[in-house]
Structure 1
Amino acid sequence: MALQWMILAYVVAAEAVVAVLLTLPSPKAIKSRIVSLISLVLQPSLFIIPFSAFQLLDIYWKNEHRLMCTGEICTAAERDRYEKSIYKAQRNGVLCISACLLYWCIYRICKYHKEIQSMEEVEKRYKEE
């Protein structure tokens, strides 16, 4: 199970780097090539959405079926283990949500850039006429 979370963490880190790369100011030619390259990669990387959703369902299921350790019958070690599992579930939930959110942001940035390019081409044609 740890491998899935490690993969998701690397994907989120890569998405964050791509989002920063897309939002940095750069010359128009370089920016258009970066956007076209990332647009080609966006469709195959769509797998992250169902993968994150499955992981969120797994977190929910484990949360519903987790043994509660709130009474006085729990030892300190059991209570620490219970709290640690809660914190890990919260961290993993944030990781899943951030993966989906970053994918959506990258998609929208690429789409806006393409729309701006098409509007600039239309404006250029009108100016030429």
Structure 2
Amino acid sequence: MALQWLIISYVVAIEAAIVVLITLPSPKLLRNRIVSLVSLILQPALFVIPFAGFQLLDLYWKNEHRLICTSEVCTATERDRYEKAIYKAQRNVILCVATILIYWCISRICKYQKDVQSLEEVEKRYKSK
């Protein structure tokens, strides 16, 4: 079970690095190359969206069917284990939502960069006429 959360953690870290890379000021040629490379990677990396969505559904199902330990019958150890499970579930929800949100940000940034590049090309053609 921990492997899937490790994968999502790495995906979030890689996506954050990509966002930083494509938003840093850089020369036009370098930025265009980076954006085109990231755009090529976006299509195969789309698998993270259904993967994170499935993990969110799994977390929701587990939360709905979790044994609640709030009565006085529970021991301190059981209460601690219950609270730890709740904290882990909250962390995992944040990871899944971050994965989806950062992927969307990357795709929007790449689209806007390509739109700016095409508009610059149109401007060059009009200036040359």
C-alpha offsets along residues 13-54 of structure 1, whole Å, 9 cap, x if unaligned? 000000000110000110000000000000000000000000
Structure 2 distance, partners of 1:86, 1:8, is 18
| RMSD after superposition | 0.4
Structure 2 distance, partners of 1:122, 1:28, is 16
Quick check: 1:90 aligned with 2:93?
no
Structure 2 distance, partners of 1:107, 1:67, is 40
Stretches of structure 1 lacking an aligned partner (at least 5 in a row): none
DSSP-derived class of the 1:74 partner: coil
Tell me how many residue pairs correspond in the alignment.
Answer: 129
Match of 1:113 in 2: 113
Structure 1 distance, partners of 2:36, 2:122, is 19
Match of 2:2 in 1: 2
Quote how far apart the aligned CAs of 1:62 are: 0.4
Structure 1 distance, partners of 2:50, 2:65, is 22
Quick check: 1:99 aligned with 2:99?
yes
DSSP-derived class of the 2:26 partner: coil
C-alpha offsets along residues 69-110 of structure 1, whole Å, 9 cap, x if unaligned? 001000000000000000000000000000000000000000
Stretches of structure 2 lacking an aligned partner (at least 5 in a row): none
Kindly, what percent of the aligned residue pairs are identical? 71
**Structure 2 counterpart of 1:32, one-letter code:** N
**Structure 1 counterpart of 2:64, one-letter code:** E
DSSP-derived class of the 1:72 partner: coil
**Structure 1 counterpart of 2:32, one-letter code:** S
TM-score (normalised: structure 1): 0.99
Pairing of 1:1-129 with structure 2 (within 5 A): 1-129=1-129
Quote how far apart the aligned CAs of 1:123 are: 0.7
Poorly superposed stretches of 4+, deviation over 4 Å? none
